[in-house]
């Protein structure tokens, strides 16, 4: 069995009240509520989670992307995958919607 780790990597640092008032946060929610400092902090936290998952024995990572959706900060999952390839040692990376699983060793 191949155990993989996945998270939507939500942008949880926007005003929840505004999201609730708007009624929908996918596709039409304005990016004016994006806080780049909080976004940077969250990206680093998510990166640490992937590194920890590998340390705990997870064999691979699933990354996906959404555009203008606070429930997933990844607009281009291949960029985050390249960062993971640089900081992890053995995990396989599966990119969705690209549906291609590759070993980071093949990227180096």
**Total number of domains constituting the chain:** 1
Q: What is the pTM for the complete model shown? A: 0.77
Farthest CA pair distance, the chain: 46
Which of 53, 32, 15 is closest to 63 using CA atoms? 53
pLDDT of residue 21 exceeding 50, the answer is yes
**Token duo for residue 38:** 């909080």
Q: What is the pLDDT of residue 12?
A: 79
Q: What is the pLDDT of residue 22?
A: 77
Q: What is the pLDDT of residues 51-75, one digit of tens each?
A: 999 999 998 888 887 766 777 777 7
Owning domain of residue 57: 4-107
- Strand 4-6 with 60-64, pairing: parallel
Give Rg (Cα) of the chain. Answer: 15
Q: Which residues contact 57 (CB under 8 A, 6 or more apart)?
A: 3
Give mean pLDDT, residues 2-25. Answer: 80
């Amino acid at each position: 069995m191949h155990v993989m780790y996945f998270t939507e990597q939500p942008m949880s640092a926007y005003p929840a009240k505004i999201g609730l008032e708007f009624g929908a946060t996918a596709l039409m929610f304005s990016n004016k509520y994006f806080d780049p400092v909080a976004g940077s902090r969250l990206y680093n936290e998510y990166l640490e989670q992937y590194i920890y998952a590998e340390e705990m024995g997870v064999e691979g990572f699933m990354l996906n992307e959404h555009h203008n959706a606070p429930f997933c900060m990844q607009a281009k999952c291949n960029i985050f995958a390249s960062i993971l390839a640089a900081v992890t040692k053995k995990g396989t990376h599966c990119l969705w919607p690209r549906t291609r699983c590759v070993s980071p060793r093949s990227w180096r």
